[in-house]
Amino acid sequence: MTTPATRHGTALHLWTEIADRYGSLDAFVTQVRREIDAPTMELPRLDTPQAEVTTPMNLG
């Protein structure tokens, strides 16, 4: 016997979520491409001096 089509984890459930949120598959794919192709924001680098890390090798 097959599993119900409305069960979480099925292709039909995925399609239902996409259709509910985006209205169409084309709109969903357009949004995915927009998010993938958008340049990422580069975070500023902190140029503060770092304290020396003490490890068992340089304790002596």
Q: How far is CA 35 from CA 6, 29, 45, in A?
A: 28, 10, 24
pLDDT tens for the chain, 60 residues long, are 445 555 667 999 999 999 999 999 999 999 999 888 877 777 788 877 666 666 666 555
Record the pTM.
0.48
The domain locations on the chain are 8-37
- Tokens read off for 43: 């975070």
Q: Output phi, psi for 34, to 5 deg.
A: -60, -45
pLDDT of residue 44: 81
